[in-house]
């Protein structure tokens, strides 16, 4: 269980990392019950949030981020011959 505080009373909840990541990165919209279903946080900021949770041990995992090599393109279209395992 993780206790959250965001300027309001504490909320004690289980941390579901996959749902958190989807909520943060999904398009901003409201559901039928007027609940917010996504925050449209940019990818780089989602990574920073995930990194902060790992550093604070809120998420008990080691986060390894691949650094871009200066001069190397980050675009998959520019990396001919490389294939993803997915």
Residue predicted with more confidence, 71 or 1: 71
Cα–Cα distance, 8 to 40 (Å, whole number)? 22
- Does the pLDDT value for residue 26 go beyond 60? yes
Interval 34-81: pLDDT, tens = 888 889 999 999 999 999 999 998 888 898 888 777 877 666 555 555
Over residues 10-20, the mean pLDDT reads 73
Partners of 11 in beta bridges = 4
**Per-residue confidence at 33, pLDDT binned at 50, 70, 90?**
confident
**What is the Cβ-side half-sphere exposure of residue 21, based on CA atoms within 13 angstroms?**
11
Q: How far apart are CA 82 and CA 76, in angstroms?
A: 8
Q: Return the SS3 of 81.
A: coil
pLDDT band at 14 (very low <50, low <70, confident <90, very high): low
């Amino acid at each position: 269980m993780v206790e959250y505080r965001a300027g309001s009373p504490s909320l004690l909840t289980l941390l579901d990392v996959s749902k958190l990541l989807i909520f943060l990165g999904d398009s901003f919209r409201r559901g039928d019950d007027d609940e917010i279903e996504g925050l449209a946080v940019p990818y780089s900021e989602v990574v920073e949030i995930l990194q902060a949770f790992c550093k604070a041990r809120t998420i008990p995992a080691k986060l390894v981020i691949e650094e871009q090599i200066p001069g190397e393109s980050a675009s998959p279209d520019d990396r001919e011959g490389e294939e993803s395992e997915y």
